Structure formats: structure tokens, C-alpha cells
């Protein structure tokens, strides 16, 4: 470890970046040494991504100085950052899915086999294969990106940075898309790269990862760098306090041994197509009882969204049956679904869940307006009264029922969706990634609403990629993998859930 090396690999001093209405980075000081794994810890919106985008030349800082290995730099474009040895693995991969691995690597290349005007695919493939072998990141250079698993795609992203001879490597929330096993493999790679003398900046909001992989941690909150501490001297509790600014009570659910309620939601051999016409849901059978939270785990893109949409009436099924309280519900008909008592908190809250330019009161009435009208006319005062009540009950922070919905923060947007779905007293509640992108306090509130719904007798189907959330809330865990659903026997076993997320079965 070389945390005390004389010349830091990265040194940022007083870096400030403003966006309209918000200071994303406020006089941030940040330093990382060669050979170090340095974690950037912070909640969503704390300014981690902005800071890394400045370091990779995507944004230019409004104030502040940046030095790499003691040399001052000012990147006007991503190209200049790449040439200076800064590589980044984005959270949402920046890969061309129809290209081969090799083609993705040589894109924009100025040093290797791709720098010539004429491109020779076989020469490039050879070079890429050698690189993969050297770093034990095996991947077929001729494979097309869309053929690869998410873990393999991430490997390509890392290889891409290594191919560009990156000495400073930024990983942005790298485990968000990985199964627990894949994440462990990644940590090994990260340590290897640090041992070679590279600097790894590891961005995360997950404490246990930061504790596991980093040498030092810098905590960001509301755009400010609060502290840099050695990981060995920190505890998860001390880091949480820095990150959130106060202690958080975490509510955990008292799991019940046996589902005792009556079956409310019954799904039988459900099949549905994805957006691109491929089969996304392959014969799912599922029963959720009254008062139960059934949690579906899985890596994104395994058909969870399509399953939720099929049950909620937003996507026609090609085969199979959905029943609520014993009565069949016609799939592909959203109105039939919510009249049958299905409430849906979608993953994409601003796109699918809400109409962003309507006032809050209108959004709250999107499902109930038929009962709040006289003939074709809406009873606006009634809608507003109802909205005022819900704003109070669900603690939605806003200027009032007439405020435009898209002016709210993520947590409050989610509360609007939840308030609307809850006020219909659904017998089935589907929540898809309900806490993605929310801060810790809002996460706890959303969790308590879900538990409350179950206590009031709803059948709750929670779909999430966040294992911590699944473990905290579930009565029963199911795992979705490539469109099929399997039950997990031991609902507290991370290793069994992880294994099933990767398509395996415990043997």
C-alpha cells in the first residue's frame, strides 16, 4: 500500500461545479495516491458522479485546480482525460452493443492496433486477447457485446480502460448490476490493479463494499467533501453518520413463519414479450397471500419489469392467467387491473408513475378521478382537499397541491405515487425498485409504508435489485432469472439468493 506516497496520483483542490439551481460540487478537496483503492462514499445526489465526470473531462469545473501526478491539468474533453491516463467504468456501460469486444476497445484508439486508418480486425483481436490474458479478464474479442452477460460486459469496460493504459481508474457503482459472486470477483480484480500501482477510485453508496475493498474513504454529502479517513480506522456506523449526517433507525420486519392469509394474487403460467419482441417472462407461477410481502430478487433485465407490467395491466400477456381474490383479470388492460384492486408503484416513477407537468393534486387523482367528477366535469375542490390530506399523511414536502409534480425531489415523487396507490386501498400492491435513487431517510419511509400495507392485509409483491432491501422486508424470497421464477428455501441466505441470481441451483 502506498497511501503516503509523496506525489498523489490525483489531487483536486477547491473544485466547484454549479448546475442551474444546484451546487453539485462545493469546494471539494480530494486526493488519491498511486496504488490505492480510494472509495468515494455518499448518498445519491451527494456529488460523486459530478466529481468523477469532472475528472474524466465530461464536465469542466467552475472553480478549482486538478493535478495528476503533480502536473496541473484542465480537460476540455473526454479524449484529453483518456490521453492523460484517466479511465472510467460507467454505471451504465458505454458500449456499442452491436460491435465486437475488440471493436469497442479500439474505438477512438490512438496508441494500439486501432490507430491506423485501415483497420485489420484479426490483428486487433489478437492484441485484445493478449490483454485479457495478462489481466486474467478472459473474454472472447470477437464476441458481440449483446451476447455477453452483464458481468462480462463490465469486464470489457475494465479492459477498455486498461487498453487505453489508464493509470487512474474510476469505477462508478460497479456492483449495482452484479450478482454477489460477480461482485467478489470484481473486488479481486480491483485489488490486483491497485497492486500494479494504478489508482482505483471506487464510487459507491454501499458501506459493506467500501469497507471490503478500499484503503481510504472520502465521504461526500450535499456536494461537500466532509472527511477522508483510512478504512481501517472507520466503522460502518461512523461512515453512515458522516454520509447521512445523523443516525438512522432501520426498521426491520419481523418475518412470519407461515403465510397465514388467504391467497390474493394468483399468477398462473404467465408469459409475456419484452419491448424488442423477445420472450421476457417465461411461464411464471406465483401466489401472494394477504398480509405477506413476497420479494423478487434478481439482476436487472431478467424479466422483472415485464412481469410487473403484465400483472399491472400495462403489458399484454401471451399466455397464462392473473387472478385477484379468485377473479381473473384481463391482462393488458390497466383499468381492469386497478379496478380489480392491483396497485402498482413502477420502477420509472417520473415516466410511468406520474405525469410530470401536472400539478400534484391531479397526479394524486389519476386513478380516482372517475369518482371525483360530475358527468364530464372534475370536482377540482374535492381533488384538492383530498390532495391536502394525502400530502399531510404521507409527509410529502411540497409547496401545495397545485405545485408541478416534476419540481419535487425523488423521495417526494415516490411518496406521491405511493399516496395515490395506497388511497385506493389495493388488495395487491406491486412495488418495483421502490427505493432506487432515494436517500436513506426516504428509503426508511418507503419501507415502512410497504410494511404498513402488508399489515393492513394487502398482498405485497416487492421487486428489487437491492439485496439489503429484500432481506429487510421479505416474508418469502423468489429469484427471477432469464424470465423464470424460482423460490428460495432459506429466505435469509445471501449465498443461496446470489447463486440463483446467477442461474444456479443449490446442490
- Total residues interacting with another protein, rule: CB under 8 A: 35
* 116 forms part of the interface with another protein (CB under 8 A): yes
The per-residue DSSP string of 424-476 comes to T--SEEEEESTTTT--HHHHHHHHHHHHHHHHTT-EEEEE-S-HHHHHHH-SE
* 46 forms part of the interface with another protein (CB under 8 A): no
* 412 forms part of the interface with another protein (CB under 8 A): no
* 49 forms part of the interface with another protein (CB under 8 A): yes
Of 379, 384, 381, 378, whose CA–CA distance to 398 is shortest? 384
Residue number with CB closer to another protein (97 or 357):
97
Q: Sheet harboring 317-324: ordered strands across?
A: 279-289, 263-273, 317-324, 327-329
* 439 forms part of the interface with another protein (CB under 8 A): no
Report the alpha-carbon distance of residue 86 to residue 5 in Å, rounded: 19
* 96 forms part of the interface with another protein (CB under 8 A): yes
Of 218, 186, 213, 170, whose CA–CA distance to 68 is shortest? 170
* 115 forms part of the interface with another protein (CB under 8 A): yes
Of 69, 88, 68, 70, whose CA–CA distance to 78 is shortest? 88
* 111 forms part of the interface with another protein (CB under 8 A): no
| Window contacting another protein (CB under 8 A); options: 198-206, 275-283, 303-311, 397-405 | 275-283
Least separation in angstroms between CB 314 and another protein: 16
Least separation in angstroms between CB 123 and another protein: 12
Least separation in angstroms between CB 108 and another protein: 3
* 88 forms part of the interface with another protein (CB under 8 A): yes
Residue number with CB closer to another protein (70 or 108):
108
CB atoms within 10 A of CB 278: 10
Report the alpha-carbon distance of residue 48 to residue 426 in Å, rounded: 38
Residue number with CB closer to another protein (310 or 477):
310
* 275 forms part of the interface with another protein (CB under 8 A): yes
Contact 47/220 with Cβ under 8 angstroms?
yes
Burial of 458 (0-12, 13-18, 19+ CB in 10 A): buried
* 95 forms part of the interface with another protein (CB under 8 A): yes
Burial of 114 (0-12, 13-18, 19+ CB in 10 A): buried
* 98 forms part of the interface with another protein (CB under 8 A): yes
Contact set for another protein, span 52-81 (CB under 8 A)? 56, 58, 77-80
Report the alpha-carbon distance of residue 251 to residue 418 in Å, rounded: 18
Least separation in angstroms between CB 231 and another protein: 28
Contact set for another protein, span 148-207 (CB under 8 A)? none
Residue number with CB closer to another protein (159 or 478):
159
* 277 forms part of the interface with another protein (CB under 8 A): yes
* 147 forms part of the interface with another protein (CB under 8 A): no
Least separation in angstroms between CB 166 and another protein: 12
Report the alpha-carbon distance of residue 493 to residue 128 in Å, rounded: 38
* 276 forms part of the interface with another protein (CB under 8 A): yes
Query: At 213, which helix (H) or strand (E)?
Result: helix 207-213
**155-79-220 Cα angle (round to 5):** 70
* 122 forms part of the interface with another protein (CB under 8 A): no
Alpha-carbon distances of 262 from 258, 421, 469, rounded to whole Å: 12, 22, 25
* 106 forms part of the interface with another protein (CB under 8 A): yes
Least separation in angstroms between CB 96 and another protein: 5
Residue number with CB closer to another protein (49 or 175):
49
Residues that bind another protein (CB under 8 A): 19, 22, 24, 49-50, 56, 58, 77-80, 82, 88, 90, 94-99, 103-104, 106-109, 114-119, 275-277
Amino acid at each position: 500500500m502506498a497511501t503516503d506516497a509523496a506525489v498523489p496520483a490525483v489531487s483536486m483542490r477547491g473544485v466547484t461545479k454549479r448546475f442551474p439551481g444546484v451546487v453539485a460540487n462545493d469546494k471539494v478537496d480530494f486526493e488519491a495516491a498511486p496504488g490505492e483503492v480510494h472509495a468515494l462514499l455518499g448518498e445519491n445526489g451527494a456529488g460523486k458522479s459530478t466529481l468523477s465526470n469532472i475528472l474524466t473531462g465530461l464536465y469542466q469545473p467552475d472553480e478549482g485546480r486538478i493535478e495528476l501526478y503533480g502536473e496541473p491539468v484542465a480537460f476540455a474533453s473526454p479524449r484529453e482525460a483518456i490521453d492523460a491516463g484517466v479511465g472510467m467504468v460507467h454505471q451504465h456501460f458505454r458500449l456499442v452493443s452491436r460491435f465486437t469486444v475488440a471493436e469497442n476497445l479500439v474505438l477512438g484508439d490512438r496508441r494500439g492496433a486501432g490507430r491506423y486508418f485501415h483497420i485489420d480486425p484479426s490483428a486487433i483481436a489478437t492484441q485484445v486477447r493478449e490483454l485479457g490474458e495478462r489481466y486474467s479478464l478472459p473474454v472472447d474479442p470477437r464476441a458481440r457485446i449483446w451476447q455477453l452477460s452483464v458481468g462480462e460486459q463490465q469486464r470489457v469496460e475494465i479492459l477498455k480502460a486498461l487498453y487505453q493504459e489508464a493509470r487512474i481508474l474510476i469505477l462508478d457503482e460497479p456492483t449495482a448490476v452484479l450478482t454477489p459472486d460477480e461482485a467478489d470477483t470484481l473486488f479481486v480484480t480491483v485489488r490486483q490493479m491497485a497492486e500494479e500501482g494504478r489508482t482505483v477510485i471506487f464510487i459507491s453508496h454501499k458501506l459493506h463494499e467500501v469497507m471490503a475493498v478500499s484503503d481510504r474513504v472520502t465521504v461526500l454529502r450535499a456536494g461537500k467533501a466532509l472527511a477522508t479517513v483510512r478504512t481501517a480506522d472507520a466503522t460502518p456506523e461512523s461512515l453512515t453518520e458522516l454520509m447521512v449526517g445523523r443516525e438512522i433507525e432501520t426498521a426491520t420486519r419481523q418475518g412470519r413463519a407461515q403465510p397465514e392469509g388467504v391467497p390474493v394474487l394468483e399468477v398462473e403460467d404467465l408469459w409475456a414479450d419484452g419491448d424488442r419482441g423477445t420472450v421476457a417472462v417465461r411461464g411464471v407461477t406465483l401466489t401472494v397471500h394477504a398480509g405477506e410481502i413476497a420479494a423478487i430478487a434478481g439482476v436487472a433485465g431478467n424479466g422483472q419489469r415485464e412481469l410487473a407490467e403484465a400483472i399491472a395491466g400495462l403489458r399484454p400477456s401471451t399466455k397464462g392467467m392473473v387472478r385477484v381474490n379468485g377473479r381473473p383479470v384481463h391482462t393488458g388492460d390497466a383499468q381492469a387491473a386497478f379496478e380489480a384492486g392491483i396497485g402498482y408503484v413502477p420502477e420509472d416513477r417520473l415516466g410511468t408513475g406520474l405525469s410530470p407537468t401536472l400539478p400534484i393534486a391531479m397526479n394524486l387523482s389519476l386513478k380516482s378521478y372517475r369518482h371525483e367528477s360530475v358527468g364530464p366535469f372534475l370536482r377540482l375542490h374535492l381533488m384538492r382537499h383530498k390532495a391536502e390530506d394525502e400530502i399531510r399523511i404521507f409527509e410529502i414536502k411540497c409547496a401545495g397541491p397545485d405545485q408541478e409534480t416534476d419540481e419535487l425531489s425523488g423521495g417526494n415523487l415516490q411518496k406521491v405515487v405511493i399516496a395515490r396507490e395506497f388511497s385506493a386501498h389495493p388488495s395487491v400492491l406491486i412495488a418495483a425498485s421502490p427505493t432506487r435513487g432515494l436517500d436513506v431517510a426516504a428509503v426508511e419511509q418507503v419501507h415502512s409504508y410497504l410494511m404498513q400495507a402488508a399489515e393492513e392485509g394487502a398482498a405485497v409483491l416487492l421487486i428489487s435489485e437491492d439485496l439489503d432491501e429484500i432481506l429487510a422486508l421479505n416474508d418469502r424470497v423468489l429469484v427471477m432469472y432469464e424470465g423464470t421464477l424460482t423460490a428460495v428455501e432459506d429466505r435469509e441466505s445471501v449465498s443461496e439468493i446470489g447463486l440463483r441470481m446467477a442461474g444456479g441451483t443449490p446442490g
